[in-house]
Chains A and B, each alone.
Chain A
Amino acid sequence: MDKHKELPADIHDRDLMAVIAGDRPEYRRRDAMQVLLSRGSEISLPVLRETLLSQDAPPDLRSMAAVMLGRDVSQERVLLDALKVPAEPAVLRRIAQGLGRIGSPEALDAMSKVRLKSGSRASLNVGFARSLISYRHGLGQYLIPRPADADILRFDHKKAVSLAFETLKPAEVKKIMPQINRELPAIKLSEKAAMCFSCLNSQLWLLLNEEMVGKQAKQRATESNAVMAVVLKYDHCPAGWHAFEYIFSNPNRDNTIDIVGLRPSGVITHFGQVRADKKDAVVSLQTVNSPYALPMAFEAIYNTDKVALKVTRAISSTGAAEGQIRPAVPKPA
């Protein structure tokens, strides 16, 4: 059974390319592309471009190409061109996500033509990608609305546990910056005022956008929508960091700023506010009802002069809050 065999470990890059471009079964072509990518081979870039732009390439292969190209800021043009080639919703979703990550305002126009089934996860992903471009560039479009009050999870604080956290030294953050820049190539995060949280057995780092640090910070935060911070999660397998939550900011007329936390899928998981208090900014954040986040309450004071975040309360429920959306149960086979 050919299907059950791995590709030989010593297969040459040229042979891999021939498999990818040939008429072998889709799983085999996908395997070949995975191997080529894992080698970091220089020839992988033209193969990825050609695959993504080919209407005849299998959708899974095109999706994979879109995912890989969407991590490289120099490939925006290819993704934009790919939007002109007919594609399955699964491929369009990956192109849009790539543009969300790396795209310029020009991408918003091109993405406005992407139509996916309303209410589907793919459509949520594409919507989030548009918002991400807009918030990154402070365009004031595709804004994420504040969730309804009823969707904020309340929980019994007496049954809460403290979330362990610590301030990170800039030198510690600097060490992982190359990885973070690969993960978020179009957002410059600051090494200052970073916090590490331990939730269950995961390590989460909250990093502020560089735009929220320094003299221009107040103006940027109060005059336009922005990506205020990103939470990154460390994975042991595969070892590395991935974006876990984006914190977007929506300034209000009363000098407060609404902040909304979203999973990279586009699901809203947290909501809170920043309000000015003398030289400091008081930050509060709570969990929004979804199966993706533990109920928590977070408060901190951000000293803009010292660029320091002081956590005054960080607690989490030990289980689901009343009324929280429970995990769905798969069907028994």
Chain B
Amino acid sequence: MASVKSIVNCLGIDTGGTVSVLGDLFGFIRRRVPADPDGTVTARVSVLGQIRGVQQNHIHVNVIRVGFDALADPADLDDEFEKIDYATYRMRNIYAQVNLGVGRVWHYFIPAADADGMDDIASGDEADDLIAKWSVPNVGVDAFVVRNIDGFLGMASGIPGSCDKESKEDGVLAGDIGRGTEGFARTFAHEIGHHLGLEHNHGGRPDCPDTLNGCNNIMAQTRCATSCGGGIRAASLLANGQGSDMRGHCAVRNGCDV
């Protein structure tokens, strides 16, 4: 079996000699497995599963927190970090259905003073501006998490998104940290799904899919998940065809050969 260290090296993570399995390999900010919001379920991660995940096609993600230092109650910061870690955990499990791994998850931040109002998004053009103005110059997908969004849940700048980090469509507005954990995590995986080339699975109509499975797909909009589907948590399916579309995106890396 490949060692954790060899996998971490393959992911391009400079650990300086010490490796945190939960921090470096899984990308959890808190270096702990996040709690499942359903208190009756214990979230679990598998090192072997993650190694297999990156031995197959996988993506890297840059999570960019915007204006968290301006949160109404900074004492909540640890809760918000856990929410992001749960989104990482969920995305990995959701994408694993179609054999797409989530490799390196690196964390960045834009202080409120630098964000200059972009931590509070109220329209599509403001989301476009945020994604165009900021970019991490590496191969990861930029996923912005802002302090506040009014009127919608998240946005993909292009479907599919661009891999040119100087492009105006190289990232997603992955969500608003003020939301509930499960809804935030679903939007996070949904928007990156758009970036990887997936459209809504609503057919030709703008409303919702026709079937229960369709309503329970991660690419159904949240309002469909809660109306015709089994709810936000249940609506996380991916079909094989969607998987091959995602794996064909330019952000997808070849498996680590270790």
Residues of chain A contacted by B154 (CB below 8 angstroms):
237
Docked complex Cα distance between A40 and B35 (Å): 34
Docked complex Cα distance between A5 and B180 (Å): 5
Residues of chain A contacted by B153 (CB below 8 angstroms):
238
- Interface size of A in residues (CB-CB distance below 8 Å): 59
A 41-89 contacts with B by CB, 8 A:
58, 60, 63-64, 67-68
B 124-139 contacts with A by CB, 8 A:
124-126, 128-129, 132-137
Looking at the complex, which of B1-9, B46-54, B108-116, B239-247 is the stretch in contact with chain A?
B108-116
Nearest chain A residue, comparing its CB with the CB of B223? A38
Q: Mark contacts of A152-171 with chain B using CB atoms, 8 A cut-off: 1 yes-contact digit, 0 otherwise.
A: 00000000000000000000
A18 at the interface (CB under 8 A from B): no
Partner of B37, one of A1, A291, A320: A1
Whether A63 pairs with B122 at a CB distance below 8 angstroms is: yes
Question: Knowing A201-B160, A237-B154 touch, does A327 contact B165 (C-beta < 8 A)?
Answer: yes
Partner of B108, one of A3, A122, A332: A332
Partner of A201, one of B111, B158, B231: B158
Residues of chain A contacted by B152 (CB below 8 angstroms):
238
A293 at the interface (CB under 8 A from B): yes
* Main SS at interface, chain A: mixed
Q: Mark contacts of B206-237 with chain A using CB atoms, 8 A cut-off: 1 yes-contact digit, 0 otherwise.
A: 10000000000000010100100001100000
Docked complex Cα distance between A120 and B159 (Å): 31
- Interface size of B in residues (CB-CB distance below 8 Å): 72
Question: Knowing A67-B150, A330-B108, A330-B134 touch, does A292 contact B156 (C-beta < 8 A)?
Answer: no
Instruction: Give chain B nearest CB distance to A282 CB in angstroms.
Output: 28
Partner of B148, one of A60, A293, A329: A60
Whether B162 pairs with A237 at a CB distance below 8 angstroms is: no
Whether A200 pairs with B123 at a CB distance below 8 angstroms is: no
A13 at the interface (CB under 8 A from B): no
Partner of A1, one of B79, B156, B194, B200: B79
Whether A265 pairs with B126 at a CB distance below 8 angstroms is: yes
Instruction: Give chain B nearest CB distance to A31 CB in angstroms.
Output: 7
Nearest chain A residue, comparing its CB with the CB of B142? A330
B65, B124, B126, B221, most chain A CB atoms within 10 A: B124
Docked complex Cα distance between A202 and B110 (Å): 26
A94 at the interface (CB under 8 A from B): yes
Whether B167 pairs with A200 at a CB distance below 8 angstroms is: yes
Whether A328 pairs with B134 at a CB distance below 8 angstroms is: yes
Residues of chain A contacted by B199 (CB below 8 angstroms):
236
Partner of A292, one of B135, B162, B168, B191: B168
Whether B117 pairs with A121 at a CB distance below 8 angstroms is: yes
Residue numbers of B with Cβ under 8 A of A are 29, 35, 37, 62, 64-65, 72-73, 76, 79, 83, 106-111, 114, 116-118, 120, 122-126, 128-129, 132-137, 148, 150-162, 164-169, 178-183, 190-191, 194, 199-200, 206, 221, 223, 226, 231-232
Minimum-distance CB pairs A-B, first 7: A242-B124, A327-B135, A330-B108, A201-B158, A333-B107, A6-B180, A121-B117
